[in-house]
Amino acid sequence: MKEDRREEYYHTRVKESGPQYAGFDLPSAEILLSLRYTEDVLHQACSPILAQYGLSKSSVNVLMLLRHGPAEGMQLHDLGDLLLVSRANITGLIDHLEQKEYVTRVVDPSDRRARFARITTKGMELLDTFMPLHYKNVKSMLQGLSESEKRMLLSLLKKTRESIAAHADSLEQAAVAEFTNAE
């Protein structure tokens, strides 16, 4: 396996260059980089397995939402709201899953403008095959953490998301103001 030098490289660059910028905080910058880097490492580990099944993380997410959601299916906008990835491409994602016969679209009888997506038997069979392997791999990937470390990490990640969400609006407003003043 090829050595991954990104962690050391980015840590060094941020540590050296960050202090020249107002508002720089090394631990905060390192956390952001570490979260992005960890997500990329996870993506690289999972993508080949997903590809063997012709899946993406988004398609697995949709199939799981439909499998464990209401029996009548879910409206596309509701799926988009619940996705753990960008909701911008929900129509294309459903089109792709429909072509593979994992999902079918159904018109809402009470509102002909509304469309539901519903998982098919073929989609459920795919999940029945894929998910045990996926969960086995997840367990294997995280075997370096104790149960208490896993609970601590979950707690810290939740707290991080809450902090980000609590400050997102003010961050966007500040960025717009700074950009406007810079012009």
116: enclosing H helix or E strand: strand 111-119
92-142 pLDDT, tens digit per residue, is 899 999 999 999 998 877 777 778 999 999 999 999 999 999 999 999 999
Pairing between strand 74-75 and 111-119? antiparallel
pLDDT reading at 4 higher than 90: no
Among 1-15, 48-62, 70-84, 99-113, name the most confident range: 48-62
Q: Which residue has the higher pLDDT, 134 or 173?
A: 134
9-54 pLDDT, tens digit per residue, is 988 999 999 999 999 999 999 999 999 999 999 999 999 999 999 9
pLDDT reading at 144 higher than 80: yes
In which band, very low, low, confident or very high, does the pLDDT at 169 lie, cut at 50, 70 and 90? confident
- Cβ within 8 Å of residue 145, ≥6 positions away: 153
